[in-house]
């Protein structure tokens, strides 16, 4: 017989508060067209994006996260000292170590919580949410701060016609805490590493460190390009539309609900055509509010779901207590989907 005492966590977990931060600089498509041969009409028709936010030098990954976290903590009605863990999902924090989560935890006044970063691309928020739920039910933390944050403008090749218009910057955060009723459903998540080349960084940091120009991409001036995110657009589109709709359906089934039971659908804001195709494939009823934050925010990877959630609640398009399906998918290729009750 084991001598280990059983965990004394909460019976369930829920999202208690959400917050977001969008950089002050708004970048319209016209700015993107200064470096690629395209048109505003083409960008809108291909992606649905009209504007995106790009961070200034002062709007760092940590700074944006701290701003979003403060709003989420206030909305949750707790104090920073009650945060027992900080999870940050990002691919654009360029310091290998320490984790930016430790800096954020200190600067928000959280005391001495567990703090770590995860790299799960555009599914990162879902991964973090799942980890937070497990901590609360297991009893290792009572409140967990989950942050999705990106400065993808730093990883954008402005001469790449396929991706220059896609990416934006921002941070979204939620506080996850105890609940007496189910409010975060089972997560359907996974990876398809055989497709890892469809979304990737152009060159590794090690290749850049070695500096062999013969192996590195050059810009129009003949200078070495900084590593950027590139993708095979058509392959990603097909995968997202067909495979992720199946994952979304599995998440609904795991939560024991049907599309008719949903109030809100918050998919990763990757592409408006992908979002619309998923809505059609899932046969979502007309009453379901669909997040289309990508129009003014662009693709912010790990930040896109909490940013879209925050905007829906702030504008009254969604309300506290609504049942929402969230799904993130991207580089890896990785994915995570679950059903949640909105804070």
Distance CA 126, CA 132 (A): 10
pLDDT of 222 reads 74
Mean pLDDT, residues 207-232 taken together? 78
Nearest to 246 by CA among 197, 193, 289, 190: 190
Confidence check: pLDDT of 212 > 70 = no
Q: Please give the average per-residue pLDDT across 183-209, as a whole number.
A: 90
Question: In this structure, what is the dihedral angle of CA atoms 325, 167, 90, 146, given to the nearest 10 degrees?
Answer: -40
Query: For position 213, what pLDDT does the model report?
Result: 63
Q: What is the pLDDT of residue 335?
A: 98
* pLDDT score recorded for residue 258: 96
The pLDDT assigned to 322 comes to 98
Pick the range with the lowest mean pLDDT from 59-68, 157-166, 212-221, 313-322: 212-221
Q: Give the other-Cβ count within 10 Å of 161's Cβ.
A: 14
pLDDT of residue 323: 98
Residue 6 scores a pLDDT above 90: no
Phi/psi for 41 (5° steps) reads -65, -40
Examine the pLDDT at 98 and tell me if it is beyond 80: yes
Residues 280 and 191: their CA atoms lie apart, in Å, by 24
Report pLDDT for 211. Answer: 63
Q: pLDDT exceeding 70 applies to what percent of the chain?
A: 99
Asked about 215 being catalytic, the answer comes back as no
Task: Check 53, 143, 268, 271 and give the catalytic one.
Answer: 268
Cα pseudo-dihedral 186, 242, 300, 193, rounded to 10: 80
Band the pLDDT of 223: cuts 50, 70, 90. Answer: confident
Say what the pLDDT of residue 208 is.
Answer: 76
**Contacts (Cβ under 8 Å, ≥6 apart) of 63:** none
The pLDDT, as a whole number, for residue 210 is 73
Which residue in the list 29, 122, 143, 271 is annotated as catalytic? 122
Find how far residue 25's CA is from the centre of its chain: 20
Q: Which tokens is 42 given?
A: 């083409």
Q: Active-site residue 122, yes or no? A: yes
- Residue 2: per-residue pLDDT: 83
The position carrying tokens 């070695």 is 210
Mean local confidence (pLDDT), 117-146: 97
State yes or no: is 209 an active-site residue.
Answer: no
Per-residue pLDDT tens over the stretch 300-309: 999 999 999 9
User: pLDDT tens digit string along 34-57?
Assistant: 999 999 999 999 999 999 999 999
| Between residues 207 and 17, the one the model is more confident about | 17
Report the chain's mean pLDDT, rounded to a whole number: 95
Mark 4-40 as b/e (b = at least 16 C-beta within 10 Å): eeeeebbeebbbbbbbbbbbeeebebebbbeebebee
Tokens, residue 215: 């192996």
Rounded to whole angstroms, the Cα distance separating 109 from 79 reads 9
pLDDT score, position 119: 96
Q: Using alpha carbons only, how large is the chain's radius of gyration in Å?
A: 20
pTM here is: 0.95
- The stretch 125-149 carries a mean pLDDT of 98
Looking at per-residue pLDDT, the higher value among 224 and 43 belongs to 43
Give pLDDT, residue 27. 98
């Amino acid at each position: 017989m084991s001598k280990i005492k059983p965990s004394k966590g909460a019976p369930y977990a829920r999202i208690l508060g959400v917050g977001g931060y969008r950089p002050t600089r708004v970048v319209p498509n016209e700015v993107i067209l200064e470096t690629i041969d395209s048109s505003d009409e083409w960008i809108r028709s291909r992606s649905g994006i009209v504007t995106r936010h790009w961070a200034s030098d002062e709007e760092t990954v940590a700074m944006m996260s701290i701003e979003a976290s403060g709003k989420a903590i206030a909305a949750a009605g707790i104090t920073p000292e009650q945060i027992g863990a900080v999870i940050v999902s990002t691919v654009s924090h360029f310091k290998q170590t320490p984790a930016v989560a430790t800096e954020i935890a200190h600067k928000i006044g959280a005391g001495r919580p567990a703090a770590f970063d995860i790299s799960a691309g555009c599914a990162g928020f879902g991964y973090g949410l799942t980890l937070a739920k497990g901590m609360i039910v297991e009893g290792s933390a009572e409140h967990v701060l989950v942050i999705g944050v990106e400065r993808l403008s730093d990883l954008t090749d402005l001469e790449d016609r396929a991706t220059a218009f896609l990416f934006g910057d921002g941070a979204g955060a939620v506080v996850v805490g105890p609940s007496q009723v189910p409010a975060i459903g089972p997560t359907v998540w996974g990876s398809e590493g055989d497709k890892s080349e469809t979304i990737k960084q152009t060159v590794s940091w090690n290749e850049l460190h070695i500096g062999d120009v013969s192996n590195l991409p050059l810009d129009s001036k003949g200078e070495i390009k900084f590593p950027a995110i590139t993708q095979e657009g058509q392959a990603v589109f097909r995968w997202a539309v067909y495979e992720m709709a199946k994952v979304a359906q599995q998440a609904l089934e795991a939560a024991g609900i049907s599309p008719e039971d949903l109030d809100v659908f918050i998919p990763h804001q990757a592409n408006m055509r992908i979002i619309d195709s998923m809505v059609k494939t899932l046969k979502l009823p007309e009453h379901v509010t669909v997040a289309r934050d990508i129009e003014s925010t662009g693709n912010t990877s790990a930040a896109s779901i909490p940013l879209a959630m925050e905007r829906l609640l702030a504008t009254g398009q969604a309300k506290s207590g609504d049942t929402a399906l969230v799904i993130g998918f991207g580089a890896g290729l990785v994915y995570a989907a679950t059903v949640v009750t909105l804070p």
